[in-house]
Amino acid sequence: MKIAVGFDHAGFPLKQAVLEAVRAAGHEPIDLGTNSAEPVDFPDYSEKVGRAVQRGEAERGILVCGSGVGACIAANKLKGVFAGLCHDTYSAAQGVAHDDMNVLCLGARVIGPALAIELIKAFLSARYIGNEPGGERLARRVAKIRKLEQAG
């Protein structure tokens, strides 16, 4: 898979660990910046990653800011982007499997590189199971989320 990755200045310290984790999981990162610890605005990187997912240039995305909260809020404003803030491996995998999450948000000031790597592994190895036999209730719930998105 191609994975769009974006960082603000607070997320920048985790950049190399994230890029390496994506590659180690057998995927291709698309680096959308930032490229330094100079202050930038996280919504700009949330948009870059979200648009790459929307356009199909990336199947999934990873965003890293200070807490992960702001990047997650901004990303979820984009139609078709299902971003989740995860600081545990259960949520990183479950968000994909049950909720069709396509963007993982992390807080660089909350977690360190070792946990980030584990979260990325869990996120990238998970797959949505709502389209499989027995996944009807999951698909029904995701359809309701998409309906909310359409209604604005």
Question: To the nearest whole percent, how much of the chain has pLDDT over 70?
Answer: 100
Choosing from 9, 65, 72, 86, the catalytic residue is 65
CA 60 to chain centre: 6
Choosing from 27, 72, 87, 98, the catalytic residue is 98
d(CA 24, CA 10) in angstroms, rounded, equals: 23
Closest CA to 3 of 58, 48, 44: 58
Is 105 known to be catalytic?
no
State which H helix or E strand residue 6 sits in. strand 2-7
Evaluate if residue 152 carries a pLDDT over 90: no
Distances (CA, A) of 6 to 30, 61, 94: 9, 8, 22
Is 65 known to be catalytic?
yes
Confidence of residue 22 (pLDDT cuts 50, 70, 90): very high
Query: What's the domain count of the chain?
Result: 1
Task: Report, as an integer, the average pLDDT of 74-98.
Answer: 98
Q: For 32-76, how does the pLDDT look when each residue is reduced to its tens digit (9 = 90+)?
A: 999 999 999 999 999 999 999 999 999 999 999 999 999 999 999
Confidence of residue 123 (pLDDT cuts 50, 70, 90): very high
d(CA 98, CA 84) in angstroms, rounded, equals: 12
The sheet carrying 83-85 orders its strands as: 28-31, 2-7, 60-65, 103-107, 83-85
What ranges make up the beta strands (E) of 8-141?
A: 28-31, 60-65, 83-85, 103-107
Pairing verdict, β 60-65 and 2-7: parallel
Task: Report, as an integer, the average pLDDT of 111-138.
Answer: 97
Identify the domain containing residue 26 by its residue range. 2-151
pTM of the complete model: 0.98
What's the CATH number where 40 sits?
Answer: 3.40.1400.10
